[in-house]
Every structure is written in structure tokens, then in C-alpha cells.
């Protein structure tokens, strides 16, 4: 039987889905964490651009701070990239299957590439490279 | 279920709104964020080539040090500082402050000024420290 209720009428009374706010907060929390991390990363980038392979390895192995902050920058940065592009996809892609596919691609790409980057930093920092 | 979704105007309402500074800078915030997604991928390639050894890292540095590579890095520096400054304005807005028209416009101007000044400062430092 056809429903004569409007979409608004159906939605009314159901209330909010009650899980939207988590993603919104996560985007803000990662944003706050990235403020100091990005400023640090700019200085790190300046140091790294002025040196070669051996200098970069030295930079990652000479202290605990550099690999830890670089690892945190990658993790928080990729979480924020995921959260940000997720909102962009949700805003502009209406077609259900395309939207779902792109949302999954965004999540998987950020997870895989972020994990590869963190693993690489740890490998160099813990002495796998020379 | 006969109620198919109606055609609705989508935000941002660029077709019905007159362009103004806070709108343009908000759209640029999203655009710079998308550009920085590419920056994140370059960061990951940096880490992976470093772990792969001197040869791979040499290739990475050669590509990033080339003229097109430098153009990309300059754009990413600008996008970074822009997204950082505008992001702080958005955090202030999220906290419920700064919606006064004058304050919001001032924030947009400050964002653009900071992004340009910080980018130039970083590239001048890069030139002075031999990073180019």
C-alpha cells in the first residue's frame, strides 16, 4: 500500500540517528591535535628538505621525539583526512552505490596508506635502514 | 513507498548567493583540505621511500626537488597554512563565537594574510637554509 506521508512526516518522531555527532567530534579533535603537529611538521620538512637520505635517517634515529611526533602526525593527519573527505563525499555524492563505494575507498585508502607510512617510520627509527 | 526524493537545492548555494569573503574562504577551506589529501599521500611516499633505501629516497628527493615538484610543494605549503588558519576560525565558530559579521570578515582577511605571510616566510627560510 502506498504511503501518503511526506519524508518529513515519516522522519518526525523517529528522532536523530544518534550516531552522527561522533564523526563530527572526531574531526574537531583531530583538527585541534593537528595545530601543533602541523607547525612542528613544517619545521621538520625544512630540516628534511635540506638534507639527504643519511641525514633523514639520522634525523629519525637520533632521538625518540622525531619518530614519535612524525608517527603521531601521520596517524592524526590520516584520521583527519578520512574525516574531512568523508564529509565532502556525503555532501556531494547522492547516488547510493557510488557514495558507499567512495566512502569505503576513502576509509580503506587512509587506513592502508597511513599504516604503510607508520610502519616505514618505525622501520627506519628502529634501525631497519642504515 | 512512492515518495521519491524531490530535487532540493544543495549547499553551498552558489547559484542564489552573492559571493562574499566568508563564503569564498569557507569554500577554499574545503578545496585546500582536498589538496592536502594529496599532501598526505606525498608524506606517506616520503616515509616509504626512506624505508626502501638510499636509491628510492634519492628518486623521491629528485622528483620533489624538480621545478614541478617545487610548484606542488609551494602550493601545499600555502594550502597547509590556509587550512590551518581557516580551521582555527571554524573551531571558534564551532564553539559558538565569532559570528558577528565584522568579526567573521576580519577572520577571513586574517586567514588569507596569515597563509600568504607564513608561506613566504617558510620558503625564504628554505632558501636560506639550503632546503631548495
Position B12 pLDDT exceeds 90: no
The per-residue pLDDT for range A9-52, each reduced to its tens digit, is 777 777 777 777 888 999 999 999 999 999 999 999 999 999 99
Residue B130 is classified by DSSP as: T
Name every chain A residue with its beta carbon within 8 A of the beta carbon of B30: 88
Could you tell me the residue ranges of all domains in chain B? 21-128
In angstroms, what separates the C-alpha of B59 from chain A's closest C-alpha?
10
In sequence order, the 6+-apart residues with CB closer than 8 A to the CB of A126 are: none
Please give the ipTM for the structure prediction.
Answer: 0.88
How far is the C-alpha of A78 from the C-alpha of A65, rounded, in Å? 20
Average pLDDT score over residue span B7-22: 76
CA A7 to chain centre: 34
Distance CA B117, CA A47 (A): 20
Residue B3 reports pLDDT greater than 70: no
What is the rounded average pLDDT of the residues A94-104?
96
Fold of domain B21-128: 3 helical TM bundles of succinate and fumarate reductases (1.20.1300)
Radius of gyration of chain B (CA): 20
Report the candidate in A119, A15, A10 with the shortest Cα–Cα distance to residue B48: A119
Task: Look at residue A76 and tell me whether its pLDDT is greater than 70.
Answer: yes
The mean pLDDT of chain B is: 92
CB contact under 8 A, B50 and A7: no
Q: Which residue has the cell 565558530?
A: B93
Mean predicted lDDT score pLDDT of chain A: 92
Cβ distance B3 to A42 less than 8 Å, yes or no, reads no
- B122 and A46 within 8 Å at the Cβ level: the answer is yes
Residues 6+ apart with CB under 8 A from B27: B12, B14
**Closest-approach residue (CA) in chain A for B131:** A50
Task: Encode pLDDT of B75-116 as tens digits.
Answer: 999 999 999 999 999 999 999 999 999 999 999 999 999 999
Cβ of A88 and B30 within 8 Å? yes
Residue of A nearest to B29 (CA): A84
* Residues 6+ away with beta carbon under 8 Å from A100: none
* Separation CA B54–CA B102 (nearest Å): 53
- Residue B2 Cα, gap to closest chain A Cα (Å): 6
Amino acid at each position: 500500500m502506498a504511503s501518503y506521508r511526506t519524508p518529513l512526516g515519516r522522519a518526525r518522531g523517529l528522532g536523530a540517528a544518534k550516531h552522527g555527532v561522533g564523526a563530527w567530534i572526531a574531526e574537531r579533535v583531530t583538527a585541534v591535535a593537528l595545530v601543533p603537529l602541523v607547525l612542528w611538521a613544517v619545521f621538520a620538512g625544512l630540516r628534511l628538505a635540506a638534507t639527504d637520505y643519511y641525514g633523514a635517517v639520522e634525523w629519525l634515529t637520533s632521538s625518540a621525539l622525531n619518530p614519535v611526533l612524525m608517527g603521531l602526525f601521520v596517524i592524526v593527519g590520516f584520521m583527519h583526512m578520512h574525516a574531512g573527505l568523508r564529509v565532502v563525499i556525503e555532501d556531494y555524492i547522492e547516488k547510493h552505490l557510488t557514495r558507499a563505494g567512495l566512502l569505503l575507498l576513502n576509509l580503506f585508502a587512509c587506513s592502508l596508506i597511513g599504516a604503510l607510512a607508520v610502519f616505514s617510520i618505525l622501520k627506519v627509527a628502529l634501525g631497519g635502514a642504515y | 513507498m512512492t515518495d521519491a526524493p524531490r530535487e532540493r537545492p544543495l549547499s553551498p548555494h552558489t547559484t542564489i548567493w552573492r559571493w562574499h569573503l566568508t563564503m569564498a574562504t569557507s569554500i577554499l577551506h574545503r578545496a585546500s583540505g582536498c589538496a592536502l589529501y594529496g599532501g598526505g599521500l606525498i608524506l606517506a611516499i616520503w616515509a616509504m621511500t626512506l624505508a626502501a633505501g638510499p636509491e628510492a629516497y634519492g628518486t623521491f628527493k629528485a622528483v620533489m626537488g624538480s621545478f614541478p615538484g617545487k610548484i606542488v610543494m609551494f602550493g601545499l605549503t600555502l594550502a597547509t597554512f590556509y587550512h590551518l588558519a581557516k580551521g582555527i576560525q571554524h573551531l571558534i565558530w564551532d564553539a559558538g563565537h565569532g559570528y558577528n559579521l565584522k568579526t567573521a570578515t576580519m577572520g577571513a582577511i586574517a586567514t588569507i594574510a596569515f597563509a600568504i605571510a607564513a608561506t613566504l616566510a617558510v620558503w625564504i627560510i628554505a632558501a636560506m637554509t639550503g632546503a631548495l
